[in-house]
A = this chain, B = another copy of it.
Amino acid sequence: MVHETVTMQGHLIDSDILRRAFARIVEEGGDFDIQEFRVGKTNDDPSFIRLTVAAAQTDALDRILEHLSYLGGATSAADAAFAPAERDGIVPDEFYATSNFETDVRIDGRWVPVVDQKMDCALVLREQGPTCVKQGRVVKGERVALRGPGLRVRPPERSRDFSVFGFMSNDVSAEVNKGIVIAGAAGEMRKTREAGEKIVVVAGPAIVHSGGDAALARLVRAGWVDVLLTGNAFAVHDLEKAILKTSLGVCQMSGRAVEGGSRNHLWAINAVNRAGGVRAAVESGLVNGGVMYELVRKNVPFVLAGSIRDDGPLKDVLTDTLVAQKAYAESLRGAGVCLMLASALHSIAVGNLLPARVRTVCVDMTESVPVKLSNRGSMQAIGVVTDVGFFLERLERELLVV
């Protein structure tokens, strides 16, 4: 048997950290012995635990310690180790893979917070400090943090306020009064505004199909959207509706495709591209309403990421997925709230790029998108299983009418 002593600190119980730590130990065939446990006496006190973890073999123990480190478990006070990237895009095999929880790196005896925290990155020592960098963007010779000591994760603490983003996160059933959840989301948007953080909207084409585009356009006009992340399809549906007043080549009453109906879709792309892109199409008067129009008028930035499904695409689309990923990541800096509206692809892409502290609401007609987000590590996202059109209309009433 081999052992190691681990300490953890924080809201160990109500943030569900201790239970998950014990689960990982047992799952890997290990054992534990608690040396010291002090539970916070009141709501605001952190708890502290020191425990000895044991396993039959060194590699099992290492796996356990690695899991625990992602839950905030600390083993020793050594500095982090680094090794150079051997080539562009190739990291040392012992690289540390980041999570979306805030992380500190011990360098010369000091704990330095990580820049651009996001999941599934390498941790590279750059000028501005240790930085989360997608592995494909690591440059030959850059110093890459290795797994092991000197890395400390701070799992997000659930707010002890009883709120949508507090105890309830990730537990919202489809059978709930959505009005209450939407009111909670509106409250968070107001707080985010006051804190000077960004409100990010991720948008899918079902917003237009469901008739929620009018409410979203008014929210943009009223200044409730700071960045819009989407793809070609949402933008084209919105532009087609603005230019041609048509039903998107889809029967309004059934939502099903009509023979030959996508001609208008292609026509709108053609017209906007001929004008020189979305901004030019607005400025030329070709487009005079809708979400894209309001974004241009309010100078709200938007990023259109390309996908293999696209028609056209619009000139504004970033067709290279790595370029689009980088543009999304930059747009997300400073985000405080993120609304993911009816787009599986872009929601999961954004989930990959967001630190866990951003309050995230994922709206979709089925539980599968919120469940996927959670399975992939975006555990902070609250799923709201409902019609995105009704969601936006209600959100608008919460923010604009009251």
Residues in B neighbouring A49, C-beta threshold 8 A: 39
B34 close to A254 (CB less than 8 A): no
Residues of B within 8 A of A180 (CB): 211, 252-253
Chain B residues near A262 (CB, 8 Å)?
Answer: 97, 119-120, 377
Can you sample 29 A-B contacts with CB below 8 Å? A13-B22, A14-B22, A16-B16, A19-B19, A26-B43, A27-B162, A70-B259, A91-B270, A122-B266, A134-B311, A135-B269, A173-B255, A173-B371, A174-B255, A175-B209, A178-B211, A179-B389, A257-B377, A262-B377, A306-B321, A308-B324, A310-B321, A310-B325, A313-B322, A319-B322, A366-B366, A367-B367, A386-B386, A386-B387
Asked if residues A26 and B167 are in contact (CB atoms below 8 Å), the reply is: yes
With A90-B273, A266-B135 known as contacts, the answer to whether A256 contacts B375 (CB < 8 A) is yes
Alpha-carbon distance between A255 and B253 when the two chains are bound, in angstroms: 26
Q: Does A23 touch B at the CB level, under 8 Å?
A: yes
> Which range contains the number of A residues in contact with the other chain?
35 or more
A41 touches B31 (CB 8 A): no
Is A33 within 8 A of B22, CB to CB?
no
A99 CA to B91 CA in the complex, in Å?
47
> Is A385 at the interface (CB under 8 A from chain B)?
yes
Could you tell me the distance in whole angstroms from the C-beta of A228 to the nearest C-beta in chain B? 15
Q: B24 contacts A258, CB within 8 Å?
A: yes
Measured CB to CB, the closest approach of chain B to A53, in angstroms, equals: 12
* CB of A20 closer than 8 Å to a CB of B: yes
Contact with B along A5-41 (1 / 0, CB 8 A): 0000000011010111011101101011110011111
Q: Does A71 contact B (CB under 8 A)?
A: yes
Q: A306-B321, A309-B349 are in contact. Are A168 and B67 (CB under 8 A)?
A: no
- Cβ of A111 under 8 Å from chain B: no
Contacting residue for A40 out of B34, B308, B313, CB 8 A = B34
Name the CB-closest residue of B to A260: B70
**8 Å CB contact of A307 from B270, B321, B367:** B321
| Beta-carbon contacts under 8 Å, A242-273 to B | 250-260, 262-263, 265-267, 269-271, 273
Interchain residue pairs A-B with the least CB separation, the first 6: A176-B255, A173-B255, A70-B259, A97-B263, A177-B211, A390-B390
